[in-house]
């Protein structure tokens, strides 16, 4: 699959990479802006091309029959957005139980416009003591931007400024105002 993704991604669609993934065994990847179902397939291609072993969090509805097994096989963990479970603690426990674990999250939690991103990824990283790696699929210039890993300080407002600065210039497949 890697060869097919590379051919389509680089040769046919002419995408490029800016930045590199860290050689760390544990981190949280936040991917934004999330504007299209196509983002998932770009993510699969990027993960394959970069030889990245990473899981992802997705809405629970994706994991129902008849296709749920596919999302699990691809490394997905279902999130029931209707239930207020302690996802932060659950993901931190996964990090604690594994020697190597990377998980990708769309901080918007939806493809629609939201007034504020969900902050769970931030608190997961704090609790698990792992860095955050910001990634964006910028459809305007066909570039996958990969930021340097940063460890959240616990000062949410200061860290949020770093996150906003990284994502502010990025554009998804469809125009959508970012909440900062």
CB contact set of 39 (below 8 Å; sequence gap of 6+): 31, 106, 111, 137, 172, 173
Rounded Cα gap, residues 74 and 164, in angstroms: 29
Q: Write down the pLDDT at residue 46.
A: 93
CA atoms within 13 A on the CB side of 4: 4
Q: Write down the pLDDT at residue 37.
A: 86
Tens place of pLDDT for every residue, the chain, 180 residues? 888 888 888 888 899 999 999 999 999 999 999 888 889 888 999 999 999 999 988 888 889 999 899 989 988 888 876 666 788 998 999 999 999 999 999 988 777 777 888 899 999 999 999 999 999 999 999 999 999 999 999 999 999 999 999 999 999 998 877 776
| Residues 75 and 56 sit within 8 Å (Cβ to Cβ) | yes
Cα dist from 41 to 23, 84, 88, whole Å: 23, 28, 26
What 3-state DSSP class applies to 76? Answer: strand
Q: Write down the pLDDT at residue 84.
A: 67
Q: Write down the pLDDT at residue 81.
A: 64
- 149-163 burial, b if ≥16 CB within 10 A, otherwise e? bbebeeeeeebeeeb
Give pLDDT tens digits for 119-144: 999 999 999 999 999 999 999 999 99
pTM for the whole structure = 0.88
Token pair for 109: 């939690």
| Residues 127 and 92 sit within 8 Å (Cβ to Cβ) | yes
Q: Write down the pLDDT at residue 136.
A: 96
Domains of the chain: 2-167 (3.40.50)
Rounded Cα gap, residues 133 and 21, in angstroms: 8
């Amino acid at each position: 699959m890697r060869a097919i993704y590379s051919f389509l991604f680089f040769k046919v669609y002419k995408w490029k990479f800016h930045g590199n993934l860290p050689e760390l065994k544990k981190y949280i990847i936040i991917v934004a802006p999330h504007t299209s179902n196509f983002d998932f397939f770009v993510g699969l291609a990027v993960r394959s091309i970069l030889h990245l072993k990473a899981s992802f969090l997705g809405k629970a509805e994706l994991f129902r029959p008849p296709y749920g097994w596919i999302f699990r096989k691809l490394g997905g963990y279902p999130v029931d957005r209707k239930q207020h479970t302690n996802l932060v603690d659950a993901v931190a426990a996964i990090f604690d139980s594994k020697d190597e674990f990377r998980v990708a999250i769309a901080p918007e939690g939806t493809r629609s416009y939201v007034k504020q991103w969900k902050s769970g990824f931030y608190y997961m990283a704090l609790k698990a003591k792992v860095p955050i790696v910001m990634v964006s699929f910028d459809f305007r210039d066909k570039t996958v931007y990969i930021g340097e890993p940063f460890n959240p300080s616990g000062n949410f407002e200061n860290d949020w400024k770093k996150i906003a600065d990284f994502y502010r210039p990025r554009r998804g497949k469809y125009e959508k105002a970012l909440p900062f």
